[in-house]
Amino acid sequence: MVSPDTTLAMIPERAESRKIEKLVAILDKCAKCSRFLQNEDPIKVNMLTVRLAFDDLIEQYDAMKHHLSADSRIVHSPDFKKGVIKILKGQNKLTKQEQSALAAFKIGANSGDDSVPVAAEEDGETIEESDDTCSNKILKMAEESK
């Protein structure tokens, strides 16, 4: 049996109670983000929406930047990730590194057809993207499925 003194010792002081309430609020926001990321709808959850969700958490809780930022150590291929996010945003500029990371996904990449350009930014100059690129097709498919 637990003595009354032991029970009283486990009750947090007012200041500790406020800290616990703040931590629970943070955990609740993180749990909501986690539930969103577990959504099975691929249109709702893609690299862009994940990035936006993480950026929102980072904006609210700076301590999460180390783990959730776009350039954190856990990111396997930052150029690939940045390139995909740009494509999902409908941006027509990819750096050479992003273009290289996404080259395997370029239309015609397996057939040896390199006629479909991926937009690239080289020394401040932009090579415009063709309407037939993979990113435009992805965006069109996303719009059609809405």
Which of 45, 48, 144, 42 minimizes the C-alpha distance to 87? 48
If you average pLDDT over residues 9-28, what whole number do you get? 91
pTM above 0.85, yes or no: no
Asked whether the predicted pLDDT for residue 131 surpasses 90, the reply is no
CA distance 30 to 87: 27
Would you kindly state where each structural domain of the chain is located, as residue ranges? 13-75, 77-146
Strand-pair partners of 121: 95, 126
Which of 95, 74, 73, 72 minimizes the C-alpha distance to 83? 95
If you average pLDDT over residues 32-46, what whole number do you get? 83
Q: pLDDT band at 128, cuts 50/70/90? A: very low
CA distances from 126 to 16, 25, 89, 133 (A): 55, 45, 17, 16
Q: pLDDT band at 17, cuts 50/70/90? A: very high
Task: Please state at what angle helix 134-144 crosses helix 78-89, rounded to 10 degrees.
Answer: 50
Q: pLDDT tens for residues 70-109?
A: 888 888 888 998 898 898 888 878 999 999 998 888 776 4
